[in-house]
């Protein structure tokens, strides 16, 4: 993802309820300012769905695990904030409907007789964002199955790889996916 945090490390060593972890190096400018673009947040959702999507591609839909449950919480939370608080939905528009202040909350909307309609629209928008990013992730990983397999094999062999190692692996079979700028940033 061009507009997303860089991978610092990937590990398949189980920790807690997770079968592995990907650690990212956050973009310092965005982190300090707290300002994230819509594209960044959509990429965050797409990336977070990657583990489940990889399981489905490799093992089949009926043999997925519970490993992605925390990722789904993060995805859903991000999509809800985009729609309900950040004005990043064309359907809901530039308003806050989360009840978190700002004057445009659910209770006021309900008093105006539109609360359940707005809530239904917001839920549909969250569903749309999640589905869209899931489909995008599925397309990306399916089209790049050789990259997925190469990284998976490296992880089985070593258990951990760095972001630099990951980029080198990708560049070896898909040089068009890795820019010199990306390598310099890691």
In the chain, what are the domain boundaries? 6-185
Average pLDDT over residues 45-62: 95
Whether 145 has a pLDDT exceeding 80, the answer reads: yes
Whether 113 has a pLDDT exceeding 50, the answer reads: yes
If one counts every other C-beta atom within 10 angstroms of the C-beta of residue 150, the result is 17
Instruction: Report the b/e string of 101-137 with b at 16+ CB within 10 A.
Output: eeebbbeebeeeeebeebeebbeebbeebbeebbebb
Q: What is the pLDDT of residues 80-111, one digit of tens each?
A: 999 999 999 999 999 999 876 544 455 554 54
Residue 9 CA to residue 160 CA, distance in Å, equals: 7
CATH superfamily, with its number, for domain 6-185: Peptidase M41 (1.20.58.760)
Under the banding of pLDDT at 50, 70 and 90, the label for residue 178 is: confident
Between helices 50-59 and 38-48, what is the axis angle to 10°?
40
Contacts of residue 97, Cβ cutoff 8 Å, sequence gap at least 6: 84, 104, 105, 106, 109, 118, 119, 122
Contacts of residue 110, Cβ cutoff 8 Å, sequence gap at least 6: 116
Residue 103: what pLDDT? Answer: 47
Residue 111: what pLDDT? Answer: 46
Strand partners for 9: 23, 162
């Amino acid at each position: 993802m061009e507009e997303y945090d860089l991978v610092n490390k990937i590990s398949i060593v189980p920790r807690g309820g997770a079968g592995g972890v990907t650690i990212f190096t956050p973009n310092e400018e965005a982190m300090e300012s707290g300002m994230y673009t819509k594209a960044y947040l959509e990429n965050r959702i797409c990336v977070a769905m990657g583990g489940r999507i990889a399981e489905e591609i490799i093992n089949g839909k009926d043999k997925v695990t519970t490993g992605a449950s925390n990722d789904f919480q993060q995805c859903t939370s991000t999509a809800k904030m985009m729609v309900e608080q950040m004005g990043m939905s064309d359907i809901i528009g530039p308003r806050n409907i989360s009840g978190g202040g700002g004057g445009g909350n659910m209770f006021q909307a309900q008093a105006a007789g539109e609360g359940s309609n707005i809530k239904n629209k917001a839920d549909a928008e969250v569903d749309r964002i999640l589905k869209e990013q899931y489909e995008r992730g599925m397309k990306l990983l399916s089209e790049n199955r050789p990259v997925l397999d190469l990284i998976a094999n490296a992880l089985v062999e070593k258990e951990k790889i760095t972001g630099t190692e990951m980029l080198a692996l990708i560049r070896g079979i898909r040089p068009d996916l890795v820019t010199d700028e990306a390598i310099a940033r890691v």
